[in-house]
């Protein structure tokens, strides 16, 4: 088989600003060892997130000019609405400025004290919006998903037995929603199988619990189903996506992911009554229902992006490029999540820096080392992001200590990725020099965005 090439040509470029290791040591110190506090111009390869960082196509840029900025009834909205309806089969489409705005609306209406929201793994903004409403978020990930370096085809699956047990314990009436994240971002970008979605739907239906999909990476997940699940190899990805959404009562989506947009999101559903409540809240928080939190041009770019993402040459290249980096790291002995996920490579920092105790945030320490060594920006997904304190102020660690290298869509070429592999391997070979960190300042919620740390010497 020949090399799978980038399925695009480059029409417009952006420079990378180079700096030295010595400069980066100082930059990191000034940023309090928090990658969110580093200026983008000081980063060589930015793998902080794949959110809103995609390269738009020439067709999308043309759509930006065509965007209809009418306050009400914009033609761009109708193209956006149709694109979402064609994929999800859901009649109600509510535009929001990001995925979290869709979550905020949904959980404000359905959340509250004494309620539980069950999931495979809730993404950080989803969990934060649930907890902000007073409700509790419960992750019920399958066992395979909890072992980062053991391969399995669908490590994003929900644990069906755990779901049934949880419903029996708390009562279906206290669970307003089950929300399944595809692919499972916080659980390594691992896919969920069609069979699992069907089983979750069955359990939910028996208990009168609506099933929503956190659909940010629906196309990547659908492509994994095509590759790995029996009976789907010959089906177009668009049909697989249609089937997947057919089991759901609604979805939230960040268009900054699989819609190749720099901003945007939506909430879609079947339930007209719930939709009315959502739209009422939308008008006071986001905007009029035919633009939500977006400009007409954004709606246009999203409508086009939602079609482009289902192109199978693109998806083949996308999934292969993550696998390419993962395999290079595996060959060098670097402990990474296996198999490769859909949008990111996840390093197992607990194994990579086994000399650093969890209380000293090995993931965050690795993030710092990758930056100083090669100017690569990544993010910790571990106890800094998800850790809690017990009543004695002792850290209750997260399930895993991962470092995520998220690959922006259509942005970096194979040589960029080769460079990333070289830097990681270099740090791995000198890993004993990396030191743990302690927190000197933190916020009560989503602390990883603003936390300040310092090395333990
Ligand atoms: C990014 C993301 C969100 C939130 O979307 P924003 O557009 O960043 O607000 C929710 N869930 C998942 C799985 C995500 O990846």
| pLDDT tier for residue 293 given thresholds of 50, 70 and 90 | very high
> Of 327, 357, 399, which is closest to residue 148 (Cα–Cα)?
399
The answer on pLDDT for 86 being more than 90 is yes
> Ligand 1 centroid to 77 CA: how many Å?
21
**Ligand 1 neighbour 186 (Cβ under 6 A):** no
CATH 3.40.640.10: which residues of the chain?
58-308
The answer on pLDDT for 405 being more than 90 is yes
pLDDT of residue 1: 81
Q: Which CATH class is domain 21-50+311-455?
A: alpha beta
The answer on pLDDT for 282 being more than 90 is yes
The answer on pLDDT for 188 being more than 90 is no
pLDDT of residue 446: 80
CATH 3.90.1150.10: which residues of the chain?
21-50+311-455
pLDDT of residue 186: 82
**Ligand 1 neighbour 254 (Cβ under 6 A):** yes
Q: Which of 99, 104, 192 to mutate to test the pocket of ligand 1 (most atoms within 8 A of CB)?
A: 99
> Ligand 1 centroid to 50 CA: how many Å?
10
Task: List C-alpha distances in Å: 394 to 184, 381, 389, 390, 452.
Answer: 28, 19, 5, 5, 18
How large is the average pLDDT for residues 360-387? 96
Q: Which of 120, 257, 446 to mutate to test the pocket of ligand 1 (most atoms within 8 A of CB)?
A: 257
Residue nearest to atom 11 of ligand 1 (CA): 123
- pLDDT tens across 409-441, in order? 999 999 999 999 999 999 999 999 999 999 999
- pLDDT tens across 87-134, in order? 999 999 999 999 999 999 999 999 999 999 999 999 989 999 999 999
**Ligand 1 neighbour 253 (Cβ under 6 A):** no
pLDDT of residue 445: 80
How large is the average pLDDT for residues 241-261? 98
Q: Which ligand 1 atom sits nearest the alpha carbon of residue 102?
A: 9
**Ligand 1 neighbour 126 (Cβ under 6 A):** yes
Q: Which ligand 1 atom sits nearest the alpha carbon of residue 49?
A: 1
Burial of 223 (0-12, 13-18, 19+ CB in 10 A): buried
Q: Which ligand 1 atom sits nearest the alpha carbon of residue 186?
A: 13
Predicted TM-score (pTM) of the model is 0.93
Q: How many percent of the chain have pLDDT more than 70?
A: 100
The answer on pLDDT for 399 being more than 90 is no
Task: List C-alpha distances in Å: 302 to 218, 298, 348, 359, 399.
Answer: 14, 6, 34, 42, 34
**Contacts of residue 210, Cβ cutoff 8 Å, sequence gap at least 6:** 176, 177, 178, 204, 249, 250, 271
pLDDT of residue 424: 98
Region of poorest pLDDT, from 52-56, 120-124, 185-189 = 185-189
What is the C-alpha to C-alpha distance for residues 320 and 310, in angstroms, rounded to an integer? 15
Residue nearest to atom 8 of ligand 1 (CA): 99
User: What architecture is domain 58-308?
Assistant: 3-Layer(aba) Sandwich (3.40)
pLDDT of residue 19: 97
> Ligand 1 centroid to 20 CA: how many Å?
33
> Ligand 1 centroid to 39 CA: how many Å?
22
């Amino acid at each position: 088989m020949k090399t799978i090439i980038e399925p695009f040509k480059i029409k417009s470029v952006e420079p990378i600003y180079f700096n030295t290791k010595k400069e980066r040591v100082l930059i990191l110190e000034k940023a309090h060892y928090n990658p969110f506090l580093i200026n983008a111009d000081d980063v060589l390869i930015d793998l902080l997130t794949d959110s809103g960082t995609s390269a738009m196509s020439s067709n999308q840029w043309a759509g930006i000019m065509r965007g209809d900025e009418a306050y009400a009834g914009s033609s761009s909205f109708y193209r956006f609405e149709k694109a979402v309806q064609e994929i999800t089969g859901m009649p109600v489409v509510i535009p929001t400025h990001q995925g979290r705005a869709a979550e905020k609306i949904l959980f404000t209406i359905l959340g509250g004290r004494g309620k539980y929201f069950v999931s495979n793994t809730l993404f950080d903004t989803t969990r934060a919006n649930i907890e902000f409403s007073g409700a509790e978020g419960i992750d019920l990930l399958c066992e395979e998903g909890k072992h980062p370096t053991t391969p399995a085809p669908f490590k994003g699956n929900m644990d069906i037995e755990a779901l049934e047990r949880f419903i029996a314990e708390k009562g279906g009436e206290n669970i307003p929603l089950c929300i399944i994240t595809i692919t499972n971002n916080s659980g390594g970008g691992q896919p969920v199988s069609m069979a699992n979605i069907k089983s979750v739907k069955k359990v939910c239906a028996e208990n009168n619990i609506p099933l929503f999909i956190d659909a940010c990476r629906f196309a990547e997940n659908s492509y994994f189903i095509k590759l790995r699940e029996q009976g789907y190899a010959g089906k177009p990805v668009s049909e697989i996506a249609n089937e997947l959404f057919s089991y759901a009562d609604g979805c939230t989506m960040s268009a900054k992911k699989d819609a190749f947009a720099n901003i945007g999101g939506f909430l879609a559903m079947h339930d007209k009554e719930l939709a009315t409540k959502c739209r009422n809240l939308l008008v006071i928080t986001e905007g009029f229902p035919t633009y939500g939190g977006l400009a007409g041009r954004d709606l246009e770019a999203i409508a086009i992006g939602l079609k482009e993402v289902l192109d199978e040459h693109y998806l083949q290249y996308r999934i292969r490029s993550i696998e390419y980096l993962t395999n290079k790291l595996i060959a060098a002995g670097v402990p990474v999540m296996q198999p490769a996920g859909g949008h990111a490579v996840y390093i197992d920092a607990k194994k990579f820096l086994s000399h650093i105790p969890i209380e000293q945030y090995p993931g965050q320490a690795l993030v710092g080392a990758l930056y100083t060594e090669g100017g690569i920006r990544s993010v910790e997904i571990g106890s800094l992001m998800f850790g809690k304190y017990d009543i004695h102020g002792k850290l209750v660690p997260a399930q895993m200590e991962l470092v995520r290298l998220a690959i922006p869509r259509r942005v970096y070429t194979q040589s960029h990725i080769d460079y990333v592999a070289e830097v990681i391997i270099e740090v791995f070979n000198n890993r004993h020099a990396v030191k743990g960190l302690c927190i000197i300042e933190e916020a009560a919620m989503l602390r990883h965005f603003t936390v300040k740390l310092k090395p333990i010497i």
